[in-house]
Amino acid sequence: MKTAICYDYINQYGGGERVLQIFLDIFKSADFYTLFYDPSTNLIDKNRLVKTSFLDNYIVHKNHRAFIPFMPSAANSINLKNKYDLIISITAGYAKGINYNFETTKHISYIFTPLRYAFEDEYIPNKIGYKNKYLKHLINPVKNYLKNWDYKMAQRPNKIITISSLTQDRIKKYYNRDSEILTPGVDTKIFYPNLQKTKSYYLAMGRLMHYKKFDLIIKTFNTLKLPLKIVGRGPELKKLNQLNTSRYTSFLSSPQSDESLRLLYSQAKALIFPQVEDFGLVALESIACNTPVIAYQKSGIIDIIKENINGTLIKEQTEEEIIKALKKLENIDTNNIYKTVEHLSLDNFKTNIQKIFS
């Protein structure tokens, strides 16, 4: 079966790109298409990258959010015609809009979420969003265009797979389509417990974006004056540094090796994860390393959080809720946290991918 894998775009490395790499490893002979690819990421073998779009240039790589209104056209400009028996789109927006012969080609889409900038207002930074009444009048037509386009493209796949009950509900709400849940897996050869390690700090990890609530975490730990490590880089770094008043809070770059990442998880008392995420691979990795998670009850990670066993949920995104959750964690048996996600191993994930997508 001749197969193509389509992905939105690659200009950084995160949870979505890790999932993509698993698909590329399973479907070794599949061709690969994406809107644009930054070669400095070193994620794709250049021999597998068949085609990108007219957006594939350095300026877009470094400023991709400014080009969001052009991404639907960029996706539609890539035409696979009838070259493939199976197209697998892995997407949070655009890859499912790549063109092909709808009569002869089967299309299965692994959707992380419906297009965020079309349906979820919290993903639009306040500085360019609804606090400015003039910009609001410019943004709304773009949002409506993206919403209409995304809905139409979501009707194309023969089958939709998604990552959590949260995104399954969104797909039903925004696309009026049913979907099947396939939870991402964690590599237990990399992320595993070290029960002898002393847990000495709290941890927050991810790309430093406004909607990920790092500001809430910092404010909470400014009050608590407990050791906190924030791991990641992103456009909010300068602002978050200015917000921090605690000498017990430190900012770290992303770890350079799997072992250093595992140790970061293993030696943390808890991962603080108060944002809305489609799933939350970081939280899954933390639990696999025997570190509990404090998560928001409206996040996709609730599918794997077991109250007072591997973490706890906060009802609201407030300092008071996080402080209450930290106290709850004192009652958790810290020897058995990792066992709650053993069934979500990478091997099981790969087996399920082959069953569904082959």
The Cα–Cα gap between 62 and 71 comes to 15
| pLDDT greater than 50 at residue 82 | yes
Same fold, 3-182 and 201-344: yes
Q: Which CATH architecture has domain 3-182?
A: 3-Layer(aba) Sandwich (3.40)
pLDDT at 111 > cutoff 60: yes
Residue ranges per structural domain of the chain? 3-182, 201-344
Domain 201-344 matching CATH 3.30.450.40: the answer reads: no
Helix, strand, coil percent values for the chain (each to nearest 5): 45, 20, 40
pLDDT of residue 122: 61
pLDDT of residue 358: 82
Please give the single-letter amino acid code of residue 202.
Y
Contact, 255 vs 264, CB < 8 A? yes
Mean pLDDT of 3-11: 97
What pLDDT, in 10s, does the model give residues 251-284?
999 888 999 999 999 999 999 999 999 999 999 9
Helices (H) and strands (E) in the chain, counts: 12, 13
8-state DSSP, 99: B
Taking only the tens place, the pLDDT of each residue in 302-314 is 999 999 999 999 9
- Helix (H) or strand (E) run with residue 237 in it: helix 237-243
- C-alpha dihedral, 134 to 139 to 144 to 146, nearest 10°: 170
**172 neighbors 179 (Cβ within 8 angstroms):** yes
pLDDT at 126 over 80: no
Which residues lie across from 37 on neighbouring strands? Answer: 10
Tens digit of each residue's pLDDT (9 = 90 or more) over 195-253: 777 899 999 999 899 889 999 999 999 999 999 999 999 889 999 999 999 999 999 99
